[in-house]
Structure 1
């Protein structure tokens, strides 16, 4: 195990962590059992961890942008968030992300389970392996998302008859502003299919902690220059309203699948 992972608590009960907006706790059959406030070596997480139980499976929710929604993507304390989840017993993390669509199959209200990413962010606390460390550590990040977890989410979507796109390259941009049309053309030329502001360093930090991690993305707008009008918050909210029921259905079905984290040496 990695240096960062061995310093966290060992547990026996698999717990699922879901990172995203506060509305994700509205899952049918979910019993909210309380909140946990966890201190970490990296500061405070975005919000207290909300604990729950669905079909006998413990679940922990973390509002990435705080509750209320007030922390911009470039100021989220990703290290504290991931560390707190692992300290609370989480071994599987699903990041729910609002994204802009570049690929023709990724229009507003479409759900996407990406399989790759490109990181365009800067200046964020992006690793646990710095400062007073015993040795330099490099993790393999060839595949940023855990494939077994991606497939489990895809199966949950099929079981719920929720259409999803099960591929895509996620471009992680700095934010909080949206991109220019020229920037979107550049991202498309780089091979990116969708754009978000919170996918990194969340995925890399999960990998450092040896957590299973996947992204469940909801497209909330066409990326700049991909439609004939300016992006508005009303448009984004309409896509969220149209797509979140599908996201919640996938999450609820997934939790009931008895997913087991990948065994690591």
Structure 2
């Protein structure tokens, strides 16, 4: 399998994305998921990460993985919007490719302490986390989904506009998470697929209220091949106070912070 994955990169750099799509990107990504999910020996994972090809391979595969998930979520949003008879979303999560079945375990980390204003950054074209958070009753005033891709943000807005009741308020912003002012938010959810997570954490620390809580998803084991990994405990001012293993290759940390430096 390792040889198959390294084959995605040619001698001059990553193969053209259209060639990978033509070969069946969805099938390749399913194979990749199975490879990652079944590679659970920490010693083997460390050996793979130490391989000279790893960094370049990770850059190639994480980009293809993110693109495939975005395509899947886009199809899901368009399908539910096109079904005039649909009155609710139901179990249509395309993140099921990760064995992901909802955010209830993550929200349990909040221990029933509601937030007034929440943001979900990297909400994607199918903003399942945002809608689940809003439906949980753990947001009293409003919840905002943030995505830097205009097309994704537009689809997310259409889905929330149709399926979210007016209270509490929900909206979608198209913005770069590393440039957002987090002063309005006392809860921030960081999607696993987000890039520049360290910059985003630093931005939240600089601009959010003192008591802000962050639910931060991050990869485990071979999940680091697909998603960016950052050690939040090493970022100034953050402490991980609880964790939840959401999928075989990811976990969610509850981060809390103290006073501004």
Same fold (TM over 0.5): no
TM-score by length of 2: 0.27
Q: Report which structure shows greater RCO (CA 8 Å, sep ≥6).
A: 1
User: Which structure would you say has the larger Rg?
Assistant: 2
TM-score, scaled relative to structure 1:
0.27
Between Structure 1 and Structure 2, the one with more helix by share is 2
